[in-house]
A and B are shown apart, each in its own frame.
Chain A
């Protein structure tokens, strides 16, 4: 079984991304949405942790949220940008969706 984890909060105000990284398994996918996309940006105090997770988990960010926040040029290399249709595909490809609210 695989899980699609969604994280919707900035990692600088909430521990949801860190908790998701701690409680997710190799092979799972983490999709950063809404303010969660700030966790996908380069050069932050958490970007090394995100890159480490990318070794065995897939990290994606919701492109419309990235663009809305002007962060398109700051996304960590290797993080896949998906649109809402891609979000739907991730939800179908994984067995469960877990929202880290």
Chain B
């Protein structure tokens, strides 16, 4: 079965991203397909490579990046939500005249249409938030 995933909260503050990660891993283990993971609201903060959690804690961003690499996941950060919260890729930083970018490996920035498309294409859309 094909899953679309929506994550509405950032890392650490809420459990949403952890629950979504465990759900996605379990779905992949069962042989399901993850069509797309869309990050919205504060969820866009999962995609900054500038987070440095304590050594003995999980690194939520790195975990997503590694899972994406291993399984070819499509991690999409909403551009409108990202602009509000300072998540930038190289192109967007250039366009906005900002002196750097912070997007993590495996993530890409795109529009809300990608969420709607996930709803259309996936057999199930599962929302994780607060």
Contact = CB atoms under 8 A, between A and B. Distances in A.
The answer on direct contact between A and B (beta carbons under 8 Å) is yes
Interface of A: 8-9, 33-35, 62, 64, 83-85, 87-89, 91-92, 96-97, 99, 101
B29 interface: yes
Interface string B11-32: 0000110010011011101101
A86 B84 CA distance: 36
B127 A87 contact: no
A83 B22 CA distance: 10
Interface of B: 1, 3, 8, 15-16, 19, 22-23, 25-27, 29-30, 32, 123-130
B129 A85 contact: no
A34 B129 contact: no
B57 to A, nearest CB: 15
17 contacts: A8-B129, A8-B130, A35-B15, A83-B26, A84-B22, A84-B23, A84-B25, A84-B26, A85-B29, A85-B30, A87-B23, A88-B26, A88-B32, A97-B126, A97-B127, A99-B127, A101-B130
B4 to A, nearest CB: 10
Contacts of B124: 91-92, 96-97
B12 to A, nearest CB: 14
Contacts of B129: 8, 99, 101
B25 to A, nearest CB: 7
A30 B32 CA distance: 22
Contacts of A88: 23, 26-27, 30, 32
A91 B126 contact: yes
CB-CB nearest 6 A-B residue pairs: A84-B26, A99-B127, A101-B129, A84-B22, A85-B26, A88-B27
Nearest to A34: B15
Given A8-B129, A33-B19, A62-B19, 18 more contacts: A8-B130, A9-B130, A34-B15, A35-B15, A64-B22, A84-B22, A85-B26, A85-B29, A87-B26, A88-B23, A88-B30, A88-B32, A91-B3, A91-B126, A92-B1, A99-B126, A99-B129, A101-B130
